[in-house]
Structure 1
Amino acid sequence: MTTPYSTTTPPVPARFLLLGDSHAGCVGRAAQQAGLPFVGGPVGSGRDFLGPFLDDLDDLDDKGDLVFRDAETRRLVGEFLNTLDVAGFAGLGVPLVCTFGLSAHTVATRQNWDIHRDRHGSVPERFLRSGLFADLVRASVRGALAFYDRTAALGLRVLAPLPPQRVPGMSDASVFFAAQDVISTELTARGVELVDLRARVTDDSGHQRAVFCQADDTIHGNLAFGRLVVAELLDRGL
Structure 2
Amino acid sequence: MTTPCSTTTATARFLLIGDSHAGPIGKAARRQGLPFTGGPLGAGREFNTDFFDGAEGDLTFRKKEANALFRRFLGELGAPTFSRITVPVVSTVGFSAHFPATRENWEIYQARTGAFEEGFLSSRLFDEIILAMARGALAFYEYALSLKLRIVAVMPPQRVPVLSDPAAFMAAQETIRRALDALGVEIVDVRSVAADGSGFQHPEFCEADDPLHGNLAFGQLILDELAARGV
Q: CA deviation at 1:235?
A: 0.9
Please name the residue that 1:45 is paired with: 43
Task: Give the counterpart letter for 1:83 in structure 2.
Answer: E
Please name the residue that 2:68 is paired with: 75
Task: Give the counterpart letter for 1:206 in structure 2.
Answer: G
Q: CA deviation at 1:118?
A: 4.0
- 1:163-200 deviations in Å (ceiling 9; x for gaps): 00001110001100111110001111222111101110
Q: CA deviation at 1:72?
A: 1.1
Please name the residue that 1:3 is paired with: 3
Q: CA deviation at 1:216?
A: 1.5
Of the three residues 112, 117, 129, the one matched with 2:122 is: 129
Of the three residues 147, 158, 164, the one matched with 1:154 is: 147
Following superposition of structure 1 onto structure 2, how do residues 111-130 of structure 1 map, counting pairs within 5 Å?
111-130=104-123
Matched, 1:140 2:138: no
Following superposition of structure 1 onto structure 2, how do residues 1-238 of structure 1 map, counting pairs within 5 Å?
1-9=1-9, 12-55=10-53, 57=54, 60=55, 62=56, 64-238=57-231
C-alpha separation between the residues in 2 aligned to 1:19 and 1:106?
A: 18
Task: Return 5+ residue gaps in structure 1 as ranges.
Answer: none
C-alpha separation between the residues in 1 aligned to 2:113 and 2:32?
A: 49
C-alpha separation between the residues in 1 aligned to 2:205 and 2:174?
A: 21
TM-score computed with the length of structure 1 as normaliser: 0.95
- 1:73-124 deviations in Å (ceiling 9; x for gaps): 1110000000000111110100000000100011100000000004221122
- 1:102-158 deviations in Å (ceiling 9; x for gaps): 000111000000000042211223111111110000011110011011001001111
Task: Give the counterpart letter for 2:44 in structure 1.
Answer: G
- 1:34-66 deviations in Å (ceiling 9; x for gaps): 0000000001000111111012x5xx4x2x321
Task: Give the counterpart letter for 1:69 in structure 2.
Answer: R
- 1:199-224 deviations in Å (ceiling 9; x for gaps): 10111110001110001210100001
Paired residues, number = 231
C-alpha separation between the residues in 2 aligned to 1:161 and 1:203?
A: 19
Task: Give the counterpart letter for 2:205 in structure 1.
Answer: F
C-alpha separation between the residues in 2 aligned to 1:153 and 1:2?
A: 27
4+ residue runs over 2 A deviation: none
TM-score computed with the length of structure 2 as normaliser: 0.97
- Aligned to 1:80, what secondary structure does the other structure show? helix
C-alpha separation between the residues in 2 aligned to 1:215 and 1:72?
A: 28
- Aligned to 1:66, what secondary structure does the other structure show? strand
CA contact (8 A) 2:5 2:27 kept: no
